[in-house]
């Protein structure tokens, strides 16, 4: 009896061992659907990260552009103190405006670097212009566009401060859309003074990469035909108060 019981116990033990040995183990690998889901999630996260990185890059460029313009603005005012005038975007003497305009822009701003160095160098516009609202050659725009009211008046243009966003001078960067629109200009000379449709201020609330120029203006001017009130008295009101 004891031997039979022991034999049964042994057989039961051997059976349990065999069951454990040959039991089908659950698979530890992923199914194809699970892999596809993981890949899709990773791709979505990567796209979100890339978009945030691009926006951060644009914000950094806008900040640098505004700082570079602030430096040039300081140099322009220092030049004005010494010479009782601002540098002009046109050459002196007779002739039509198109033949007297100083280009490229770095040459236009070169009086700030020589013979007296109000700034060490003219910074480039990191928003490199790829198109202009009036079809001007892109090679002109190696830095910010610059124009002054006195230069416009000297050519007989009735635009006056309408060509300089309401200031005695105006700097304009193409901005994130890379279209140089000169900070807004009068498209037609007349009673209505229609604004150039491309000439809007860059506003990040419209989207980090959105239409508009990054603009800085000099002291306010009432010469000539002013641009739209929202530009002369609204967008630049804070800048005007600094003068």
Q: What value does the mean pLDDT of the chain take?
A: 75
The segment with the largest mean pLDDT, out of 89-103, 112-126, 183-197, 206-220, is: 112-126
**C-alpha atoms less than 13 angstroms from C-alpha of 95 in its C-beta half-sphere:** 9
- The whole-number pLDDT of residue 243 equals 46
**C-alpha atoms less than 13 angstroms from C-alpha of 88 in its C-beta half-sphere:** 17
Cα gap 6→168, rounded to integer Å: 111
The verdict on pTM exceeding 0.75 is no
Q: Evaluate whether 200 touches 207 at the Cβ level (below 8 Å).
A: no
> Ramachandran region of residue 234, left (φ > 0), alpha (ψ -120 to 50) or beta?
alpha
- pLDDT, one tens digit per residue, over 113-167 is 999 999 999 999 999 999 887 788 999 999 999 999 888 777 776 666 767 777 8
Q: What angle do CA 225, 231, 234 make, to 5 degrees?
A: 125
The residue to which tokens 């039961």 are assigned: 12
**C-alpha atoms less than 13 angstroms from C-alpha of 140 in its C-beta half-sphere:** 18
Burial of 144 from C-beta contacts in 10 A (0-12 / 13-18 / 19+): buried
Element (H, E) at 142: none
Between 169 and 167, name the one with better pLDDT.
169
> Which whole number is the average pLDDT over 40-47?
83
The segment with the largest mean pLDDT, out of 20-34, 53-67, 227-241, is: 53-67
């Amino acid at each position: 009896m004891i031997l039979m019981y022991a034999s049964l116990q042994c057989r039961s033990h051997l059976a349990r061992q065999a069951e454990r040995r040959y039991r089908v183990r659950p698979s530890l690998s992923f199914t194809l659907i699970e892999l596809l889901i993981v890949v899709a999630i990773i791709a979505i996260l990567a796209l979100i990260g890339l978009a945030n990185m691009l926006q951060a890059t644009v914000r950094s460029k806008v900040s640098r552009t505004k700082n570079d313009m602030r430096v040039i603005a300081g140099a322009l005012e220092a030049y004005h103190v010494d010479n009782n005038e601002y540098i002009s975007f046109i050459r002196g003497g007779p002739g039509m405006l198109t033949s007297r305009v100083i280009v490229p822009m770095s040459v236009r701003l070169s009086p700030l670097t020589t013979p007296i160095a109000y700034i060490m160098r003219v910074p480039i516009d990191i928003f490199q212009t790829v198109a202009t609202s009036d079809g001007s050659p892109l090679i002109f725009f190696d830095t910010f566009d610059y124009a002054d009211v006195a230069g416009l008046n000297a050519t007989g243009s009735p635009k006056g401060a309408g060509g300089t966003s309401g200031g005695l001078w105006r700097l304009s960067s193409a901005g994130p859309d890379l279209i140089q629109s000169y900070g807004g200009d009068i498209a037609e000379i007349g009673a209505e003074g229609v604004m150039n449709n491309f000439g809007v201020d860059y506003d990040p609330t419209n989207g980090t990469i959105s239409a508009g120029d990054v603009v800085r203006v000099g002291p306010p001017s009432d010469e000539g035909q002013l641009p739209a009130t929202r530009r002369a008295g609204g967008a630049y009101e804070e800048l005007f108060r600094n003068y």
